[in-house]
Amino acid sequence: MEWKQTIESITFSYKAARDNSSLGYELSKLTNARVLFKIIFENEKIAHELNLKAEVERPPTWCRNFETMQVNNRIEEGILFIQHVDCQAEFTKWEKRLWMNYGYQATDVAGASGIVRVYRKYQRRKNTSRSCIPVPPCLHSDDMAPNYITNYLCFMIKKYPNGVLSPSITALLVGPTLEQFCRKTINLLNFNKDGESMFYVQQLERVSGEKLEVTHILSQPKSTWTGRRGMVSDELLNELIGKNNPDACVFICGPRLFLQAART
């Protein structure tokens, strides 16, 4: 499950396996702050009871793909059943404010052996950099490039053999510049939740200039933040990027819900 929020709403998403023809979802209201999601398989049913941070309005708004989904809508009974689809429900908050978290959930698995409540604990084992973000010049001093100088901006780029851009970048020899196949100007819109979530701020500021313009946008900043505020939207992108340019090349990186919002 993934979730995102604005001041006025909160959205929950479940990703379905497209090859699982027996999969369906069922949503029922328990209270104004408790919602029950059921993921239905052929031989079992997994129920997620969401205890929300605060009360929400009913019914939710559903993201619908009519090419792949079947909907039996019984809102008057407090139940909505959806088959064969990625499930996304948006609730309107009663109190218009941001939540520190969505609350918590408990999971029940119902199968041939009955209902079992499952509590899972996860341990973080390691941190790794995402592809195409600034990284240190090396992880060990023995791996430092012999011609490295301190004003370099280093990236870790994952090569996709059938990709559009990464094969061209990774095929470059020492010496050629990215201007040979990229635009000469780059507009970087760096979206983060708050100041603590921002990374490489000083490094980006040092390399920004005529060819690289960096704009930081925070969705939940502190009162002392003087930069851009908000989430990805038509209004914000039109202001910072402008009208569509047929020569422009746009790259998006982030969580799935952010990617969906940015593409929309």
Residue 106: its pLDDT value, please?
77
Range of the domain at 27: 2-118
Which of 137, 155, 177 is a domain's end point?
Answer: 177
What is the total count of domains within the chain?
A: 3
- Do 7 and 113 reside in the same domain of the chain? yes
- Do 169 and 209 reside in the same domain of the chain? no
Q: Residue 214 domain-assigned?
A: yes
Which pair of tokens denotes residue 178? 């990215």
- Do 172 and 243 reside in the same domain of the chain? no
Residue 78: its pLDDT value, please?
47
Residue 112: its pLDDT value, please?
57
Q: Residue 123 domain-assigned?
A: no
- Do 166 and 205 reside in the same domain of the chain? no
Residue 79: its pLDDT value, please?
47
**What does pTM read for this prediction?**
0.39
CATH number at residue 227: 3.40.50.80
Residue 205: its pLDDT value, please?
86
Residue 66: its pLDDT value, please?
43
Q: What is the pLDDT of residues 240-257, one digit of tens each?
A: 887 767 777 889 988 888
Q: What is the mean pLDDT of each run of 10 residues along the chain (264 residues)?
A: 86 67 72 84 79 86 54 43 63 88 77 61 63 68 77 76 77 66 76 88 84 90 91 88 76 88 88
Q: Residue 64 domain-assigned?
A: yes
Q: What is the pLDDT of residues 46-60, one digit of tens each?
A: 888 888 889 998 788
Q: What is the pLDDT of residues 145-155, one digit of tens each?
A: 777 777 777 77
Which of 118, 138, 162 is a domain's end point?
Answer: 118
Residue 77: its pLDDT value, please?
41
- Do 11 and 98 reside in the same domain of the chain? yes
Q: Residue 14 domain-assigned?
A: yes
